[in-house]
Structure 1
Amino acid sequence: MQRTQNCLLKLDRMNKALRHQEPDRVPVSDFFWGGFLSRWRAELGLAADADIYRYYDLDWQVVSPNMDPHIRPFEILRDCANEVTVRTGFGATIRKKFDQAMPAFLAFEATTVKHLEDFEFDDPFDERRYFAAGDDQINGVGDGFERNVAAFVERVGAVYEDFPVFGSVCEAHEMLWRIIGPENVMLWMGQFPDAIAQFVDRLHEFNLGLLRGQMQAAQGRLAGVVIWGDVAYKKGMLFSPAFWRDHFKPGVKAMIDECHSHGLPVIYHGCGNVSRIFEDFIEIGVDAYNPLEAKAGLDVVDLRRKYGHGIGFCGNMDVQLWAAGDRHELRAAVLRKLNAAKGGGFIFQSDHSVPSNVPGESYDYVVQLVRKHGVYPLQLGEYDLEDVH
């Protein structure tokens, strides 16, 4: 299995951008809600199975292995025409209503600190995570609902020839809240900081194993890795930056170091406003930060002014504007943000993912703008900012 010449061009484009060099043009891709994809196909008159990555020849994709602490089929607690409720390998009980975008977390098996002390992880190198189809929470319960997800290596192989494929792993907080619930994360950090710190260390070991396991399984077919780690909300950090630095940061650094030792760049996906620890991400070697939520007050042009080319950026196209803005407003936003691509270091995407309220034609218009005005040397006209470089 070999990459096509077009895929090699995309790989070169991505690698140059992440090394802060100017490729032929600014890379563009995204994450998409199922509801948006249905709307996009209908509004553009496309076939029901049209693949948006292939239609626009986007520049990269992400594939995730089974990251459940316990490898097991979903336990179906309720199944009807409008919704399903399942218990997953995280020990989470989740209700998915099919007419709503995201699922509801109803309960968690781990309800005490003693449960954390007794918690056992299935082997992160277990071949079922990478070579077998099956149920898993992150791939199966989200915007949509899917059982018996195809094996990780099959999904990598299905796109490898045509797209740079990034693997996927969570950092410790992203795993922790799925095991005990976000409320208990906040509460127990205050009540039982030592117990949480000890469990976080165990999560670091497990996550590093998942990272190594998928790299081994992919056999050189990964072009990079996404680390998922939400530690902030709209106004700031979810918990103390000092606690994050003491207990979460070392595990993130270890995964970044592992990726870099294999020549793989890292895109860190963290929602919310992480301004208080942004320099920490630069320090530990994050190659690009995603998604840079506009609604959390982040602006990629301002970030480029502040941090220069110390870190790459991936995202920041305001989906609220994308959904409601007219073409004049969209053009102004796109061309202004492309200033952050001067000297490389910028991948154009949404400021999280493309939701169902974005019109198909508006998505199409923005992609075409990036393709036209994102060619180097950039020609941004009246939106060219001289103090951004």
Structure 2
Amino acid sequence: MNSTKEQKLARIHAAASHREADRIPVGESFWTGFLKKLDAYHGHSIDPYRQFDLDYLMVIPNMDPAIRRFEIQKAGKEDIRIKTGFGATLLRRGDIPMPHYEAFAVTSAAQLKDFAFDPPRDPRRLYGAGDDQINCVGDTLLRSIPCWNARLDSYCDDFPVFGGICEAYEYVWRITGTENALCWMLTEENAFGDFVECVGDFLVGLTEYQISEARGRLAGVCIYGDVAYTNGMLFSPEKWRELFAPVTKRLIDTIHAAGLLAYYHGCGNAYPIFDDLAAMGLDFYNPLEAKAGLDVVELKKEYAGRMAFAGNIDVRALESGNRKQIKKEVLYKLQAGAGGGWMCASDHSISSFVEPQSYEYMVELLREYGSLPLDTERLKAELEALER
């Protein structure tokens, strides 16, 4: 029998408060390719959140600056070129998992001051079905998805649900492109700084709108923002603190003011700003990419009581299909759950290269070994045996 929403919520709040509930909570995001394989494996449509009794999920609104359907510029047998509400032109090729950005809305710093946004509280962001860049452009191209409110309604009775919002850099580069954003923050400081503030006002407004329209149906809000890559920050921590930290702090404060949990999803190795995020009161940092050298067992020792984590199960172990490798990875990372402060998840998402049997095995291990309080001696003994 699956857990109740109340049990799931108790696990999440215990982890955020560095306490133990009945078991380590687990959440996940899934590539469309994996979901298709899961359906084929079972022979019918599967909802992974219900199938695996996961503890939470995210529902993201339409964040496009301009709310509109995708403009199809070219469509072939497997390739398609679209223009989105961000004003970005993307090529989605059938032989490549992720889309390629070909052009962006803003190509000169002088254009920043004139860039227009549909209002953050436009009802179409939450109540209109359709296309939007963040929800619809990934390892496949989705069209005409159900509205945010309907997606929230379909889960909120059974699961703690987190809303979603970008942080400032993540939003800016989708308008300007990465190269321009990185250059202009140094060469066009005034224009770029003013634009970041404008973006911040928009993001805070949309966060407030989600929370008010949720009417108690949200457990928290996930802030999405990649400010790092495998080897470190995309720009200096000092530049992040100057330009982007104020918006992140406003978002966290807005979420907390509503009595909700603040969850941050940022890829790469952003360790240099973990102290800043902890000082802002961030509840969870995710996904802690193992491929970027992050280890939640070690981080937990440093941040216990200050900031909780979610993620860090190396998806490469799951992709390998090797049950011994998967078991070693899961049992080692489970140690981070002792005393609370950690929710289990992959170190990014479950890719199309993961077989359903491998993910199911991971969940089996979590159920067998993840009850709280953890039997740490058993975990260590099993890990030692796996090393032999």
Task: Tell me which residue corresponds to 1:296.
Answer: 292
Task: Tell me which residue corresponds to 1:12.
Answer: 10
CA–CA distance in 2 between the matches of 1:276 and 1:17? 23
Quote the offset at 1:47 in angstroms.
3.1
Of the candidates 178, 184, 187, which is equivalent to residue 180 of structure 2? 184
Deviation larger for 157-166 or 4-13: 4-13
Of the candidates 80, 92, 95, which is equivalent to residue 91 of structure 2? 95
Task: Tell me which residue corresponds to 1:287.
Answer: 283
Superposed CA offset, 1:208-266 (max 9, x none): 01101111221110011100010000000001111110110011011101111111011
CA–CA distance in 2 between the matches of 1:12 and 1:303? 23
Task: Tell me which residue corresponds to 2:27.
Answer: 29
Deviation larger for 155-164 or 31-40: 31-40
Note the 1:1-389 alignment, pairs <5 A. Answer: 6-42=4-40, 45-324=41-320, 326-384=322-380
Tell whether the 8 Å contact from 1:60 to 1:166 is kept in structure 2 after alignment. Answer: yes
1:162 aligns to what SS in structure 2?
coil
Tell whether the 8 Å contact from 1:35 to 1:356 is kept in structure 2 after alignment. Answer: yes
Cα distance change on mapping 1:219 and 1:55 into 2, 3 Å = same
Deviation larger for 329-338 or 366-375: 329-338
CA–CA distance in 1 between the matches of 2:303 and 2:168? 26
Runs of 4+ in 1 over 3 A off after TM superposition: 380-385
Quote the offset at 1:335 in angstroms.
1.3
Quote the offset at 1:5 in angstroms.
7.3
CA–CA distance in 2 between the matches of 1:130 and 1:154? 9
User: Which residue identity is paired with 1:248?
Assistant: F
User: Which residue identity is paired with 1:174?
Assistant: E
CA–CA distance in 1 between the matches of 2:50 and 2:43? 13
Superposed CA offset, 1:16-52 (max 9, x none): 111111011001121111111222333xx31342111
CA–CA distance in 2 between the matches of 1:72 and 1:325? 41
CA–CA distance in 1 between the matches of 2:123 and 2:232? 39
Identity of aligned residues (%): 46
Tell whether the 8 Å contact from 2:18 to 2:304 is kept in structure 1 after alignment. Answer: no
Quote the offset at 1:55 in angstroms.
0.8
2:162 aligns to what SS in structure 1?
strand
CA–CA distance in 2 between the matches of 1:36 and 1:240? 36
Tell whether the 8 Å contact from 2:55 to 2:160 is kept in structure 1 after alignment. Answer: yes
Give the number of aligned pairs.
380
Deviation larger for 289-298 or 142-151: 142-151
User: Which residue identity is paired with 2:20?
Assistant: E
User: Which residue identity is paired with 2:30?
Assistant: F
Superposed CA offset, 1:81-119 (max 9, x none): 212111111010011123432111100121011111111
Tell whether the 8 Å contact from 1:335 to 1:380 is kept in structure 2 after alignment. Answer: no
- After TM superposition, the score normalised by the length of structure 2 is 0.95
1:217 aligns to what SS in structure 2?
helix
Unaligned runs of 5+ in 1: none
CA–CA distance in 1 between the matches of 2:279 and 2:111? 34
CA–CA distance in 2 between the matches of 1:80 and 1:280? 47
- After TM superposition, the score normalised by the length of structure 1 is 0.95
Cα distance change on mapping 1:30 and 1:143 into 2, 3 Å = same
Tell whether the 8 Å contact from 2:17 to 2:305 is kept in structure 1 after alignment. Answer: no
Tell whether the 8 Å contact from 2:229 to 2:292 is kept in structure 1 after alignment. Answer: yes
Unaligned runs of 5+ in 2: 382-388
Tell whether the 8 Å contact from 1:237 to 1:273 is kept in structure 2 after alignment. Answer: yes
Tell whether the 8 Å contact from 1:332 to 1:383 is kept in structure 2 after alignment. Answer: no
CA–CA distance in 2 between the matches of 1:143 and 1:130? 23
Tell whether the 8 Å contact from 1:134 to 1:148 is kept in structure 2 after alignment. Answer: yes
